[in-house]
Amino acid sequence: MKRTIAFGGIVASAGLLAAGLAAPAQAADKPAAVNLANTNLAAQQVAAFWYGEAKANLIQATPYNVETTVPAKHVSGGGPTADTKPGVVPAIGDEKKAASKSKNVNLPKTSGKVFFIGADGKPHWCSASSVQAQYRNLVATAGHCVYDTESNKATLDKWVFIPGYYEGKTPWGIYVGKTAYTHYDYDVYEDGDRNYAFVTVYNGVLPEAAWGSKDWTSKSFKKESHAKYWLKRLQNDKKTGYSDLQIVATPDMKQKVKLGTPDSIKVEPASVADLAVDPSTIDNARATLEEQAVVGTSTYSDGTWGVTVKKVWGGQEGWNSTDPAKQTVYTFKKDGKTYQATFWGAFKVKDYVITGKILRIGLKDVGRLGDNVGGQGLAYNQKIGKAVFVFGYPSGSHPDGNYAYSGKTLKWAYGKTFAAQAPAIKAEELQAIKSSFTGEGSVGSSWLLNYKSAKRIGYLNGVTIAVADRDGNKRIDTSLSPYFDGETYGVYQAAANNWSGKIV
């Protein structure tokens, strides 16, 4: 979707863009930059989250399936248009052109997966690629692998890039996202023609010591509303490194109230001592509980406590302990059958606290992303009709149910681009290629122009944002990408010159 924009300045000439050359003029609206983890503590906690618990979150992550399969059509006339002259930024290691030929397709080391917590609170991933940048710290992917279009939150949480990822293995480390850069029109209007993102990342880290987690508890709050306010602040503050945050009500065990009373909590199981409240009435309370248990699952007449009864196979009759503070289970026989009773009580809330975990892990620095795996160049304002390689991790089934890809290994597709549209995602000027990549997992795949298989580098000229079944045979046959133009270069340039640094 194109908007009227104001241009000014000097446009770059075709060819390599090196330091000192003028760049394409940019739109009046600046690229949107959002912090993902803007302190070392936060970045360390993000890395620890993915490495912790035997990498369970990485292994259990699923492809991000948001707006992946959409209706699309081939546009024979019109289509994307260059807003300035063509230009490229060379890949790392390809700053000086060198001819090379290879019959085999060697997969790029720059490709990998980005992992994050989605709108559903679960771990997910997209495809992505390392790209050239001044500080060798930049990743390119689809915009909706950074911006949460489901809940309209600014960013997806705990965002990391892992090049060469395979079933829990992180050969070159985990790179925690620092700042995400997207086009203004995507950030504000969710414009599908601008669905791309460039993310600066910290130096990579690998685990080198035992890890675990430390429980954390906040100060107490008298009102639940105050606890909710601080919970939201902690969840939204990228400077904090906490996880699994939740509000816990602390009962005042001296104030038993009717179930459902405002600012009350149901305690289950409750012991004889809990329900007696007054130690001098324990014997009477125990006898009353036993009588109520024989009645069956029920709530006592005053509404402050109740009993849950279930049938069991055998068991010693009586209480599970001689200590009233631990007497929570009562076993009895009725009509020749054995039953167990547990009890609950309603109590006034004394205060509220926020609990969570601070993940702890020994991490070692493994250096900059581009130094470890390289970085693809960038091409923009290229003619439609050129051949590109697409590298990504497709996963999931075709519409007919055929499960074509597992998402575990890096795959490639090859074809010439053509103009396309996908109004369902507000995209009027896309480029597309014929590809059987299924949408789950392939979102964020890198489109590489002039890919040199021997050197494993080329020029990033697009990222997959969706796939389509254009002929209606229930088989995915098309991959879609925004057309990279001078405005794309502007977003890239805003990100490419920013330093990230180390987290350990």
pLDDT of residue 295: 93
Q: How many CB atoms lie within 10 A of CB 16?
A: 16
Cα–Cα distance measured from residue 124 to residue 62, given in angstroms and rounded to the nearest whole number: 5
Cα–Cα distance measured from residue 166 to residue 145, given in angstroms and rounded to the nearest whole number: 19
Instruction: Look up the pTM and report it.
Output: 0.68
Full DSSP string of 242-288: EEEEEEEEEEEEEEE--TT-TTEEEESS--HHHHH-SGGGHHHHHHH
pLDDT of residue 101: 43
pLDDT of residue 1: 46
Give the domains, in start order, of the chain with CATH numbers.
32-211+361-496 (2.40.10.120), 214-355 (no CATH)
pLDDT of residue 41: 74
pLDDT of residue 404: 81
Q: Vertex 68, ends 457 and 391: CA angle to 5°?
A: 15
SS (H, E, C) 370-434: HHHHCCEEEEECCCCCCEEEEEECCEEECCCCCEEEECCCCEEEEEECEEEEEHHHCEEEEEEEE
| Tokens encoding 24 | 């394409």
Cα–Cα distance measured from residue 466 to residue 389, given in angstroms and rounded to the nearest whole number: 16
Using alpha carbons, select from 112, 101, 232, 227 the residue that is nearest to residue 174.
112
Cα–Cα distance measured from residue 140 to residue 198, given in angstroms and rounded to the nearest whole number: 5
pLDDT of residue 359: 66
Cα–Cα distance measured from residue 365 to residue 321, given in angstroms and rounded to the nearest whole number: 53
Cα–Cα distance measured from residue 75 to residue 429, given in angstroms and rounded to the nearest whole number: 9
Q: What are phi and psi of 194, to 5 degrees?
A: -120, 30
For tokens 């107490």, the residue is 220
Tens digits of pLDDT across the chain (504 residues): 433 222 222 222 222 222 222 333 334 466 777 777 767 777 887 888 888 777 888 888 988 876 555 454 444 445 566 666 666 776 776 655 444 344 478 999 999 999 998 878 889 999 999 999 999 999 999 998 998 776 666 568 899 999 999 988 899 999 999 999 999 888 888 898 999 999 999 999 988 765 566 788 999 999 999 999 999 888 776 556 677 889 999 999 999 999 999 999 999 999 999 999 999 999 999 999 999 999 999 999 999 999 999 999 988 999 999 999 999 999 999 999 999 999 999 999 999 999 988 766 678 899 999 999 999 999 999 999 999 999 999 998 888 888 888 899 999 999 999 999 888 888 888 999 999 998 788 999 999 999 999 999 999 999 999 998 888 888 888 999 999 999 999 999 999 999 999 988
168: three-class secondary structure by DSSP: coil
